[in-house]
Structure 1
Amino acid sequence: MRSNKFISAIQLSVMSTKHEHGIGSSSRVEGGAKGPGLFFILPCVDTIMKIDLRTVTFDVPPQEILTRDSVTVSVDAVVYFRIFNPVISVTNVENSRVSTQLLAATTLRNILGTKTLQEILSDRENISHSMQTHLDEGTDPWGVKVERVEIKDVRLPVSMQRSMAAEAEAAREARAKIIAAEGEQKASRSLKGISMFGNTLE
Structure 2
Amino acid sequence: MTSAPPTGRLPLFHPARLSPEQQTLYAEITGGPRATGPRLFALTDDEGHLHGPFNAMLSSPRLGGALQALGSAIRFGTDLSPRVRETAILVVATVWDSDFERYAHESVGRAVGLTEAELQALREGTDPGFTDPFEHAAWSATRMLAGHPDRLEDTWYTTARASLGEAVLFELSTLVGYYATLALQLRLFAVPAPDTAGPAPRPSRR
Q: Which TM-score band applies after superposition, normalised by the shorter structure?
A: under 0.3
The TM-score normalised by the length of structure 1 is: 0.24
The TM-score normalised by the length of structure 2 is: 0.24
Query: Looking at CA atoms only, which structure, 1 or 2, has the larger radius of gyration?
Result: 1
* Higher RCO structure (Cα 8 Å, ≥6 apart): 2
Richer in strand (by share): 1
Richer in helix (by share): 2
